[in-house]
Structure 1
Amino acid sequence: MRIELTGVSVEVAGRRLVHDVTLRAGSGRMVGVVGPNGSGKSTLLRCVYRALRPAAGTVRLDGADLHAMDAREGARLLAALPQEAGTEFDFTVAEVVAMGRLPHQRGAGRASAEDTARCARALARVGAGHLAGRGFLGLSGGEKQRVLIARALAQDPRVLVLDEPTNHLDIAQQLEVLALVRAGETAPDGDGRAGEPGGRLTVLTALHDLNLAARYCDELYVLAHGRIAAAGPPHDVLTPELLAEVFGVRAHRVRHPETGAVQLLFDRLAAPAADS
């Protein structure tokens, strides 16, 4: 399932934070949104998962206006992991992940055996099956992040929107989670949803780490001051010139010895010479 943003602008408290953004993530692709702090990444994604409504433009899933969809229908197609997600109540991990099945249940129906099995598979996929009986509030930051990703996967979406999914994870966990998300498959059909059984998830994610973005994303969109500064494959986008202009750093490009992906080494930009 493809996701398309066309001319999207977003306003918060009367201030326009995102300006006329057009972005496309093709079916089964992993697309990254990168940019410095305050560039509008989280604001843009909040519009995509319907926490905000665009002041202008549209967000479409396979051509259908996402903001015009019934909430339950939209939740069956798109799952999100916001940057600051969690729960104030001390549910067990199994109960938190089970919340991902709510869009597929009718009314106040109880979880089925299939729901329980899908939740268990989602926890196993993120390496957190052993946490099922633990209280969510007692988990470490990294454990909570894994559980919330499992909740999103248990939702069996076609599109996954992730805002800084590697927050609170150590480097090994970061690599594991992004590899899992990139290789993620949608659930086989059987509940009347459109789409090909077992197809790859379409993923739209904001990332701070440019090297992780370069390694795992098919395309990148660079945001600066709420506008698209560049877009395309990581090798074409992450140029020293753009990184100096947008991020204020001097970048040296190298190749990953195994994957061949562009990787970056950073220095501070030389300070301008003082006037004599």
Structure 2
Amino acid sequence: MRVDIDRVTVEISGTHVVRDISLRAGSGRFVGVVGPNGSGKSTLLRCVYRALRPTAGAIRLDGDDLLTMSPRDSARRVAALPQEAAAEFDFTVAEVVAMGRLPHQGAVARESEADRRACAAALEGVGAAHLAGRGFLTLSGGEKQRVLIARALAQQPRVLVLDEPTNHLDIAQQLELLSLVRAGGPTVLTALHDLNLAALHCDLLHVLDGGRIVASGAPHDVLTPGLLAEVFGVRAHRVVHPGTGAVQLLFDRLPRP
């Protein structure tokens, strides 16, 4: 499913947090949004999963206006893992993941065999099947993150919006998670702080600064020393990953002027 963000602006308390942003995530593509803290990444993504209504502009899914869809219809197409998703649920892990199936159920929610299979596959996929009977509140931060990702996958979306999905995960889990999401086939729109993870997994990167897109393109074209110095305030040295050929970055501080 294609996602088109068309001239989206978000104004909050008189401040333009996002300014006139347009981008496209093609069907099945893995698209990253990167930028320093406060650049507007999370605000933009919140518009895509309807936690925030843009002040201006439109978001379309295969040409259909997202804001004209019913909440249930949009939830069948778009699932999200927000950055602030570490809510304290007083449920078992299995119950939390089952919440991802609600958009596919009728007015009287009844779990079907298809629902159970989807939940089991999602938990297995993130390596959390052994946690199914545990209380969500008893989990570590990394375990909670994996369960919340499983909930989003159980929703079987055609578009997956991830805001810092690798928070609380160790390096092996970070690599496994992003590979799993990519292999699943949905269109992915994600904000990532780790530029090396972004370079390794994203087909396309959009760099935000001050609420605007300042660069777009393939990671090896976008993540240049000049841009990283200007936007992130660091000196970057580019190397090539020996296994994948992806650009990877080594950082140090810029010298004081």
Cα RMSD (Å): 0.7
| 1:86 CA displacement | 3.4
- Structure 1's unaligned 5+ residue stretches are 185-199
| 1:89 CA displacement | 3.2
* The 10-residue stretch of structure 1 (84-93 or 156-165) with the greater mean CA deviation from structure 2: 84-93
Matched, 1:32 2:17: no
| Structure 1 partner of 2:172 | 172
| Structure 1 partner of 2:143 | 143
Which aligned pairs between 1:240-259 and structure 2 lie closer than 5 A? Answer: 240-259=225-244
261, 264, 269: which one aligns with 2:246: 261
Contact 2:239 2:248 in 1 (8 A): yes
190, 193, 196: which one aligns with 1:205: 190
Q: Secondary structure at the match of 1:144?
A: helix
| 1:68 CA displacement | 1.0
Q: How many residues align?
A: 257
| 1:16 CA displacement | 1.4
| Structure 2 partner of 1:196 | none
Which aligned pairs between 1:121-140 and structure 2 lie closer than 5 A? Answer: 121-140=121-140
Encode CA deviations 1:166-213: one digit per residue, 9 max, x unaligned.
Answer: 0000111111101111111xxxxxxxxxxxxxxx21000000000000
Give the Cα–Cα distance (whole angstroms) in 2 for the partners of residues 87 and 133 of structure 1: 18
Identity of aligned residues (%): 75
Letter in 1 for 2:213: I
Give the Cα–Cα distance (whole angstroms) in 1 for the partners of residues 121 and 245 of structure 2: 32
Q: Secondary structure at the match of 1:22?
A: strand
| Structure 1 partner of 2:5 | 5
Give the Cα–Cα distance (whole angstroms) in 1 for the partners of residues 140 and 166 of structure 2: 14
Q: Secondary structure at the match of 1:241?
A: helix
Contact 2:89 2:96 in 1 (8 A): no
Give the Cα–Cα distance (whole angstroms) in 2 for the partners of residues 89 and 145 of structure 1: 13
Contact 2:158 2:187 in 1 (8 A): yes
Matched, 1:41 2:41: yes
Q: TM-score, normalised by structure 1?
A: 0.92
| 1:67 CA displacement | 1.1
| Structure 1 partner of 2:213 | 228
Q: Secondary structure at the match of 2:143?
A: helix
| Structure 1 partner of 2:59 | 59
Matched, 1:101 2:130: no
Letter in 1 for 2:175: L
- Structure 2's unaligned 5+ residue stretches are none
Instruction: Choose 1 or 2 for highest CA Rg.
Output: 1
Letter in 2 for 1:130: H
Give the Cα–Cα distance (whole angstroms) in 2 for the partners of residues 271 and 51 of structure 1: 41
Letter in 2 for 1:47: C
Matched, 1:14 2:24: no
| Structure 2 partner of 1:82 | 82
